[in-house]
Amino acid sequence: MPTEQPADLHLASTHPLGPDASVAAFPLGGIGTGNVSIGARGDFRDWELQNSPGKGNLLPFTFCAIDVRPADGAADEAVTKVLEARFPGPHEGEDGYGWGRVAGLPRFASAEMLGRYPLLAIDFADDRVPVRPSLEAFTPLVPLDPAESGLPTAVLRYRVHNPTDRAQQVTLALSLASPVGMDGWRHNGFPTYPTAPSVDYREADGIRGLTFTAAGPTDAFGYGTATLTTLHDDVSVKPQWLAGHWSDGVQAFWNDLTDDGRLEAETKESYDDQPPTGGARIGSLALHRTLAPGETGDFEFVLSWHVPNRHRAWDAGGELYDQVVLNHYATRFTDAWAVAGHVHEHLPVLEASTRGFTDALFDSTLPAEVIDAAAASLSVARSTTCFMIDNGTPEGQFLAWEGSFDRDGSCLGTCTHVWNYAQTLAYVFPSLERSARRNEFLTETDEGGRMHFRSQRVFGGSKPWDFAHPAVDGQLGTVLRMYREWRFSGDDQFLTDLWPKVAEAVDFAFGYWDPDGDLILESVQHNTYDIEFYGPNPLGSVMFYGALRAAAGMAEKVGDQDRAKRYADAASTGAKAMDELLYNGEFYVQKLDDVDAYRYQFGIGVLSDQLLGQFLAHLAGLGHLLDQDHVRSAIKAVYDHNFRSDLSEHVSVQRTYALNDEAGLILCSWPDGGRPKLPFVYSDEVWTGIEYQVAAHLIFEGFVDEGLTLTRAVRQRFTGRNRNPWNEAECGNHYARSMASWALIIACSGFDWDAGTRRLAFAPVVGDQEQPFRTLFTTGTAQGRVTITGESAELTVDHGSLDVAELVINNRSFIPDDQGPVPAGRTVRFTAA
């Protein structure tokens, strides 16, 4: 088995990043809460708490300072620094580093960041500082639990070790400009506040800290609160910095901190006659602790926020834009202080779940690149791309953009043809995918079965998203995903509720895309390349056969035997016909007499997505839709023709996601000539979502080496130097399609879970066969891990409860030592039958 790592493989989750990883930004924040990120220097960046993306958003004078002085020493032995590594440059700027960046304060000589999402760790080092500080930061992530994974909070735990032989008095002082109440962001990254927010010190129930409150009515879109809290006993505080001219506030803060390592409240608001009414308000909270020689101590802050009010629309064009709809989290919590209370109270449990999940993933024997890719994909689910609104149910309504532009969402409506690729939610937060399916079939599928591929009526308006064509891949892929959700959850009521509309959507396909009834789709086929394919081609038809198989399975379950048979027959007949028509002996092509008769076709090119429907069918346990040998040949052809180990001489006039000596898989190539004059508009691009689906599919078909090589190629592009490891962009940051990477775990571990039969299966294809194989897994009710060692296996449940009727490993049944449902924390041993 081919999983030896190349020596030069440096992944962000395995090799610490230095401050020169200038675009690394590790996102904190939960599902549907917005984010604040931490850079490789330990700096706060990309403040996005206000229900909108905000890449580049900075808060002025927001930094953690450390003050260290020997407990028995003189004042001049004190050292005070900003707890960030130095700026790596470029230092260019219209006014250098302007006010608010505090770039002129001394910083640490170096920092090393290791991001194993959702856990961030940064070690700081500086010869002039006698102690060794580090930062551990995370937002709780509880698998299968979007609510507890959707807390608007970030735990910031600074840990300081005293290696000296003297007791050291250590202060961690976190200064924060109000992260709520702004109405815009300037060119330099800093916010504008129409009216200054208030900031106050508060102490209750052992929780103490700062509360920021935006001015204005609580039902305004910009309203919100934020808190910086701690359970730490020994604190000092400067609840509000001097406001007013120039650098008065920061100079007074620094004078105060360096004077004795403790903070005092200012005695006036400003030295000016007229304190400003607008502008930032900054507060500082300092935690103190004396560390004995050799001692290590924690300094824990919790940042929480609560910006409840969203527009009831995707954007200003929406019907109900002027109405407020609550963030789902705002139905649980009244304000940020309430969030903080929940976090402080439940942090041990939340953290244990987070670590259980993270350990199961990162301590697995899966290839490092697979772990790296899959873990990073979790951050998409908790980025500004995804959100949850109040829909009157306890669960709320899940919604998503395709991605996030720097300052706006990108492409509205949980777009079916983009979300086709995404697997992470289906396995880690499956209830969110069910939420999407409910909406797609019950709200966005018209009478007659046409599905709008962007959800607009989900906000409550009456107008669907208006576009000339339905999306063939989106609509049919959604049927496959419906099957995936039902099979994984075993939620038969979910199936029963949606089935009539699922059947309509499938029936629609026959008439609309196959007017000649030959079961090969040939009419205008809008698709994920934002153009229309014409004539027979594998993208639409393979997805059709997958949808038919899935629908046949669901029809059988609901007792619609007619449809079950009709669909199954059509899948077989159609697949055979398509195979005959489009297979060219190596891969599947598009059949067009004149490839230039329409713009944006691909003709006899090798389309990387030609087997996308087959990929989804594998994930759903549906097996091969087409001749297995042809499928294997075709996916291998995709790799052979479209994977480039060096893109320096690649020619593309399109958007560029990989270049120079980077490797990547292009969307299409024409090894036999026949390139259209104007091929489809993304044909020469490289998209991580397609790379992952192809990589996983290669592994499904036995091309493990190729699949892992391709996966490594992707993640080597995301190492913090050139791209953020936690942001795979396509049309927008944190692009949903990139969540195809979770399929790599499924493919590598040969995982399958059928909730109906409670059959759990593994068939690992990676790792050293002489060594135990370990992987994380999820089912509809549990997250666990399994260790497989030849004839035996150990299965541990980290979260939830698992009731397995049959464990199958490499097609052999395994017998448990102990029967019955396995609760969280329990390990059960299995032996080969």
Segment 229-248, which members bind a second copy (CB under 8 A)? 245-248
Our finding on whether 106 is near a second copy (CB under 8 A) is yes
Cβ neighbourhood burial of 706 (10 Å; 0-12, 13-18, 19+) = buried
Our finding on whether 268 is near a second copy (CB under 8 A) is no
Using CB under 8 A, count the residues that bind a second copy. 71
**Residue 195 or 654 having the CB closest to a second copy:** 654
**Residue 407 or 463 having the CB closest to a second copy:** 407
Question: Candidates 91-99, 144-152, 337-345, 607-615 — which segment interacts with a second copy by CB under 8 A?
Answer: 91-99
Our finding on whether 714 is near a second copy (CB under 8 A) is no
Our finding on whether 526 is near a second copy (CB under 8 A) is no
**Residue 678 or 815 having the CB closest to a second copy:** 678
Our finding on whether 8 is near a second copy (CB under 8 A) is no
Instruction: Using DSSP, state whether 625 is helix, strand or coil.
Output: coil
Cα angle 110-114-116, degrees, rounded to a multiple of 5: 165
**Among 535, 416, 554, 521, which Cα is nearest to 477's?**
416
Q: State the minimum distance, in angstroms, from the CB of residue 32 to a second copy.
A: 20
Q: State the minimum distance, in angstroms, from the CB of residue 368 to a second copy.
A: 23
Question: Candidates 8-16, 84-92, 112-120, 448-456 — which segment interacts with a second copy by CB under 8 A?
Answer: 84-92
One residue of 268, 407, 463, 812 binding a second copy per CB under 8 A: 407
One residue of 167, 201, 216, 254 binding a second copy per CB under 8 A: 254
Question: Candidates 35-43, 168-176, 730-738, 783-791 — which segment interacts with a second copy by CB under 8 A?
Answer: 730-738
Q: State the minimum distance, in angstroms, from the CB of residue 249 to a second copy.
A: 9
**Residue 408 or 504 having the CB closest to a second copy:** 408
In angstroms, the CA 325 to CA 310 distance is 5
Residues 6+ apart with CB under 8 A from 541: 520, 521, 574, 578, 582, 613
**Residue 96 or 702 having the CB closest to a second copy:** 96
Q: Are 30 and 388 contacting, i.e. CB atoms less than 8 angstroms apart?
A: no
Q: State the minimum distance, in angstroms, from the CB of residue 659 to a second copy.
A: 6
Our finding on whether 73 is near a second copy (CB under 8 A) is no
Our finding on whether 267 is near a second copy (CB under 8 A) is no
Residues in 433-492 at the binding interface with a second copy, rule: CB under 8 A = none
Q: State the minimum distance, in angstroms, from the CB of residue 34 to a second copy.
A: 17
Strand-pairing partners, residue 208, are 203, 230
Provide Rg for the chain, Cα atoms.
28
Q: How many CB atoms lie within 10 A of CB 301?
A: 23
HSE-up of residue 527 (Cα within 13 Å, Cβ side): 31
First to last CA, the chain: 25
Our finding on whether 92 is near a second copy (CB under 8 A) is yes
Exposure b/e, 180-193, CB count within 10 A at least 16 = b: bbbeebeebbbbeb
Our finding on whether 733 is near a second copy (CB under 8 A) is yes
**Residue 123 or 248 having the CB closest to a second copy:** 248
Q: Given CA atoms 420, 742, 795, 813 in this order, what sign does their dihedral have?
A: positive
One residue of 124, 333, 405, 427 binding a second copy per CB under 8 A: 405
Q: Is the peptide bond before 276 cis (omega within 30 degrees of 0)?
A: no
Output the six-digit token pair for 495.
């199936």
Q: Given CA atoms 683, 688, 693, 695 in this order, what sign does their dihedral have?
A: positive
Q: State the minimum distance, in angstroms, from the CB of residue 259 to a second copy.
A: 11
Our finding on whether 644 is near a second copy (CB under 8 A) is no
**Residue 256 or 514 having the CB closest to a second copy:** 256
Angstrom CA distances, 384 to 53, 220, 314, 586, stand at 6, 20, 13, 41
**Residue 723 or 799 having the CB closest to a second copy:** 723
The alpha carbon torsion through 172, 177, 179, 180 (nearest 10 deg) reads 140
Question: Candidates 96-104, 206-214, 443-451, 577-585 — which segment interacts with a second copy by CB under 8 A?
Answer: 96-104
**Residue 109 or 832 having the CB closest to a second copy:** 109
One residue of 4, 7, 593, 677 binding a second copy per CB under 8 A: 677
Our finding on whether 334 is near a second copy (CB under 8 A) is no
Q: Are 765 and 750 contacting, i.e. CB atoms less than 8 angstroms apart?
A: yes
The alpha carbon torsion through 114, 22, 287, 142 (nearest 10 deg) reads -50
Residues 6+ apart with CB under 8 A from 656: 685
**Residue 120 or 647 having the CB closest to a second copy:** 647
Residues in 557-596 at the binding interface with a second copy, rule: CB under 8 A = none
**Residue 11 or 809 having the CB closest to a second copy:** 11
Interface mask toward a second copy for 594-633; x: CB under 8 A? -----xx---------------------------------
Q: Which helix (H) or strand (E) holds 297?
A: strand 296-306
One residue of 91, 462, 493, 517 binding a second copy per CB under 8 A: 91
One residue of 14, 15, 70, 105 binding a second copy per CB under 8 A: 105
Question: Candidates 69-77, 218-226, 294-302, 673-681 — which segment interacts with a second copy by CB under 8 A?
Answer: 673-681
Residues in 164-203 at the binding interface with a second copy, rule: CB under 8 A = 187
One residue of 103, 231, 581, 824 binding a second copy per CB under 8 A: 103
Angstrom CA distances, 253 to 68, 169, 264, 275, 539, stand at 16, 19, 9, 17, 62
Our finding on whether 45 is near a second copy (CB under 8 A) is no
**Among 236, 285, 245, which Cα is nearest to 269's?**
245
Our finding on whether 410 is near a second copy (CB under 8 A) is yes
One residue of 1, 9, 14, 23 binding a second copy per CB under 8 A: 23
Block residue for tokens 């990989």: 658
One residue of 125, 558, 681, 824 binding a second copy per CB under 8 A: 681
One residue of 655, 758, 826, 829 binding a second copy per CB under 8 A: 655
The alpha carbon torsion through 461, 464, 465, 466 (nearest 10 deg) reads -130
**Residue 525 or 733 having the CB closest to a second copy:** 733
Q: Are 45 and 29 contacting, i.e. CB atoms less than 8 angstroms apart?
A: no
Our finding on whether 652 is near a second copy (CB under 8 A) is yes
Our finding on whether 271 is near a second copy (CB under 8 A) is yes
One residue of 96, 163, 206, 278 binding a second copy per CB under 8 A: 96
Output the six-digit token pair for 309.
């009010």
Our finding on whether 824 is near a second copy (CB under 8 A) is no
**Among 15, 737, 147, which Cα is nearest to 402's?**
737
Q: How many CB atoms lie within 10 A of CB 149?
A: 27
Cα angle 17-18-20, degrees, rounded to a multiple of 5: 115
